[in-house]
Structure 1
Amino acid sequence: MSDELRVAEHYHHGDLLHAIESAFRQSGKALSDMRIEDLADIDEFHIGGRQATDQVLGQRMLSEQDHLLDIGCGLGGACRYMADRYRCRVTGIDLTQTYIDTGNTLCSWVNLAQQVELVAGSALAMPFEAARFSGAYMLHVGMNIEDKAQLCAEVHRVLTPGASFTLYDVMQEKPGALLYPVPWATDASTSFVSSREDYIKHLEHAGFEISFVKNHAHFAMDYFQSEKKRVKAMGGRGLLGLHTLMQEEHPVKVRNMMQGLQHGFIAPVEINAIKVK
Structure 2
Amino acid sequence: MSKEKDVSNHYLHGDLLKAIETALPKLGKTTDSITIEDLAPIDEFHIGGRQATENFLSQLNFSDKEHLLDIGCGLGGASRYISNKYNNRVTGIDLTDEYITTGNTLSTWLNLHNQVNLHQGSALSMPFQDESFDGAYMMHVGMNIENKTQLFKEIFRVLKPGTSLGVYDVMQNNDGDLIYPVPWASNKNTSYLAQPGQYKTALQEAGFVVTKDNNRRDFALDFFKALREKTEANGGPPPLGLHTLMQESTADKIKNMIHNITEGYIAPVEIISHKT
Q: Answer yes or no: same fold by TM over 0.5.
A: yes
Please state how far the C-alpha of 1:170 moved relative to its aligned partner.
0.5
Partner of 2:89: 89
Unaligned segments of structure 2, at least 5 residues:
none
Please state how far the C-alpha of 1:63 moved relative to its aligned partner.
3.2
How does 1:74-85 map onto structure 2 within 5 Å?
74-85=74-85
How does 1:142-161 map onto structure 2 within 5 Å?
142-161=142-161
Partner of 1:29: 29
Partner of 1:41: 41
How does 1:92-131 map onto structure 2 within 5 Å?
92-131=92-131
Q: Is it true that 1:222 corresponds to 2:222 in the alignment?
A: yes
Partner of 1:8: 8
Separation of aligned partners in 2, 1:193 and 1:36: 31
Residue 168 of structure 2 aligns to a residue whose secondary structure is strand
Give the stretch that moved more between structures: 11-20 or 51-60.
Answer: 51-60
Separation of aligned partners in 1, 2:173 and 2:55: 21
Please state how far the C-alpha of 1:25 moved relative to its aligned partner.
2.1
Partner of 2:137: 137
Contact 1:25 1:31 (C-alpha < 8 Å) held by counterparts: no
* Letter paired with 1:2: S
Contact 1:72 1:123 (C-alpha < 8 Å) held by counterparts: yes
Q: Normalized against structure 1, the TM-score is what?
A: 0.98
Please state how far the C-alpha of 1:229 moved relative to its aligned partner.
1.3
Runs of 4+, deviation exceeding 6 Å:
none
* Letter paired with 1:61: N
Give the stretch that moved more between structures: 52-61 or 262-271.
Answer: 52-61
Separation of aligned partners in 2, 1:167 and 1:30: 34
Q: Is it true that 1:53 corresponds to 2:20 in the alignment?
A: no
Q: Normalized against structure 2, the TM-score is what?
A: 0.98
Separation of aligned partners in 2, 1:59 and 1:110: 26
Percent of aligned pairs sharing the same letter: 54
Residue 134 of structure 2 aligns to a residue whose secondary structure is strand
Deviations 1:67-89 (A, max 9, x none): 01000000000000000111010
Separation of aligned partners in 1, 2:98 and 2:140: 18
How many pairs align?
Answer: 276
Partner of 2:192: 192
Separation of aligned partners in 1, 2:56 and 2:97: 26
How does 1:154-193 map onto structure 2 within 5 Å?
154-193=154-193
Give the stretch that moved more between structures: 99-108 or 27-36.
Answer: 27-36
